[in-house]
Structure 1
């Protein structure tokens, strides 16, 4: 991971210094900013491989910064650092386009592991051979374009949504085991990642609401199943 670029936005200077120094020691190139008001210009100039955003920022909060990033880049990994831990805050984070969400206080080792995992996932997605569009019912899923077309509606997908959708579209009408899905997409089936999965399943289910031919059901404690009507 040496030489990878990280954009880190955090207004708490003492914390930022510790994290920036550690990332430098690990070989990362880091651009630290205290606010994200000029995020689109920053992306053009710095071209990061991964973003780390605090949620509570001056001028514009981290969720809003992520929304702006996703308007121009749907694939770059985004990690939120926050003191907020309520379920709705987690949901808001993933709705903003986050790939991961770390609650303060956290250890540097935890942050490094999560950074490494996100960069590995990003590299694997970039190196994978482009997949053909997959048609299921009245839905067209493009893992290459990061889109899901349902009837006349087209939804832009995050990298994590693409990973989950790929598994769901590979095996329609079959039960996708919850644990296997977690291990395939997140690399472990921890309680935290299980909550993240539920957030993405709810989002994907809202996309399917525009479909007359597909629904996504949850089989409690078992997994998920795409049903063709």
Structure 2
């Protein structure tokens, strides 16, 4: 069986070696770069199933690197590693095209969990029914991360598309907050709850052109997509 190929971009040599060796022991193939510029060059010349990117990198920082990657490929999942913990930094990470965020210090078991969840989630997205999903007057194409209404096309981030697909699969019924957090973020901390609320707000804005479509907040319990 062909090994899953991961691009690791991390400027701390010891940490990079630990991550690389540990992933290779788990039967992943890992290509390593110590700065953002080299990471982007490797990405352009390789085929990767997932990228693990540190935020604080020399030459090209992680946020900028992932924005560059997203111009080239808007499907590959990206896991950020960072010592930054402010909510605005996390939001910037997701806005730049990241799919998950792992705060340093972290355990290798948590890293393996996040990697496997991202790969599994991407497989689900790729295998989703690519017939057009109708949300009121909107057409939703999960794999293309695209919402369409009339002549307008709205490009979604990977996280927005994943959350909207989850809401769609539970449409007109309750999507429990904890279930959504565990599925998309891997834990239900207050920190991730606030982040998810930001993405719910973004989806509401995207869906605002059809008054019959709503995302209801069931206070303290979860959300309901009405369509």
For the criterion TM > 0.5, the same-fold answer is yes
Matched residue, 1:114: 114
Whether contact under 8 Å (1:133, 1:140) holds in the other structure is: yes
What number of residue pairs does the alignment pair up?
227
Matched residue, 2:131: 132
Whether contact under 8 Å (2:85, 2:103) holds in the other structure is: yes
- Shift in CA distance, 153/40, structure 1 to aligned 2, threshold 3 Å: farther
**CA deviation map 1:66-124 (0-9, x unaligned):** 11222232221110000100111111111112111011111122111211221222233
Matched residue, 1:176: 175
Alignment of 1:96 onto 2:96:
yes
Matched residue, 1:81: 81
Whether contact under 8 Å (2:95, 2:157) holds in the other structure is: no
Alignment of 1:222 onto 2:221:
yes
- Shift in CA distance, 118/170, structure 1 to aligned 2, threshold 3 Å: closer
Deviation at 1:221, TM superposition (A): 0.8
- Secondary structure, counterpart of 1:37 in structure 2: helix
Which runs of structure 2 are paired with 1:27-176 in the superposition (5 Å)? 27-37=27-37, 41-126=41-126, 128=127, 130-176=129-175
- The alignment's TM-score, normalised by the length of structure 1, stands at 0.85
- Shift in CA distance, 39/14, structure 1 to aligned 2, threshold 3 Å: closer
Partner Cα separation in structure 2 for residue 186 and residue 60 of structure 1: 26
**CA deviation map 1:25-62 (0-9, x unaligned):** 22221111122226554323221111011111122211
Partner Cα separation in structure 1 for residue 171 and residue 121 of structure 2: 24
- Shift in CA distance, 2/113, structure 1 to aligned 2, threshold 3 Å: farther
- The alignment's TM-score, normalised by the length of structure 2, stands at 0.85
Partner Cα separation in structure 1 for residue 104 and residue 40 of structure 2: 27
Cα RMSD over matched residues? 2.6
- Secondary structure, counterpart of 1:75 in structure 2: coil
Whether contact under 8 Å (1:150, 1:208) holds in the other structure is: no
- Shift in CA distance, 223/151, structure 1 to aligned 2, threshold 3 Å: farther
Whether contact under 8 Å (2:4, 2:28) holds in the other structure is: yes
Structure 1 residue runs of 5 or longer lacking an equivalent are none
